Amino acid sequence: MISKKKSLDYYPDFQNGETILIDKPLKMSSFRVIEKVRKIINFGKIGHAGTLDPLATGLLILCTGNKTKEIEKFQNLKKVYSGIITLGQYSDSFDLETEVNQFPIPDDIDEQNIFRVAKKFIGQIEQLPPMYSAIKKNGKRLYHLARRGKEVERKPRKILIYDFVINKIELPDIHFTIECSKGTYIRSIADDFGKALRTRAILSSLRRNSIGEFDVRDAFQLTELSELFSNGNLN
């Protein structure tokens, strides 16, 4: 395990398999992160245990070599996210990636209504995957189709929301923390949340705090990882 939590006093065996915790920066794709890590550690076979959108930050678990066989184990773990849902706005991507449009906010939205709606999302629910997602349809990523203005039929998926906490309300912004299962699209939660309040909403900020027992506080920034592997810092 290559993380801040565990001192690295040996040179890792990437072929046999290592797990690397990375804190993904804003506006960088998960695939771009992998490209940079490949160069830093000078090793090619790297996989990730769940992507993050370019506009999201937080924990990425990377596996190298033989450890890539264990990726599914990490993918199936619970995930915790924190972020901001902004009411009264709408975009095709449900976040800030595409053009944002304004939408009326009812006058009767208050804290009581917001907390009441949040409780409705807890438990097993069905979620329609967004068009702006990496899911494949006939061999093509949905987000490639969405960027060309195309929309295709998707089937709802069952997901599990273990907890949905409203941390702070500064309308139109709602700060939250969600603990959820594999396959949950937080952008879709934001869109559905707005609709439940008789308006629209986008996900204006998102950070993945943890995956199972792995915490973003133990993850390396790319610059920190580069420094670790440069200038003979490892034996």
Residue position matching structure tokens 């996210």: 81
Structure tokens at 86: 């902004």
Contact (Cβ atoms closer than 8 angstroms) between residue 200 and residue 180:
no
Report the candidate in 4, 9, 183 with the shortest Cα–Cα distance to residue 79: 183
* Residue 133 tokens, joined: 């997602």
- Choose, from 53, 95, 191, 192, the residue flagged as catalytic: 53
Contacts of 149 (CB under 8 A, 6+ apart): none
Q: How far is CA 161 from CA 10, 178, 203, in A?
A: 40, 7, 17
Strand partners, 220: 22
200 conformational bin, left if phi > 0, alpha if psi -120 to 50, beta if neither: beta
Q: Is 53 a catalytic residue?
A: yes
The set of catalytic residues is 53
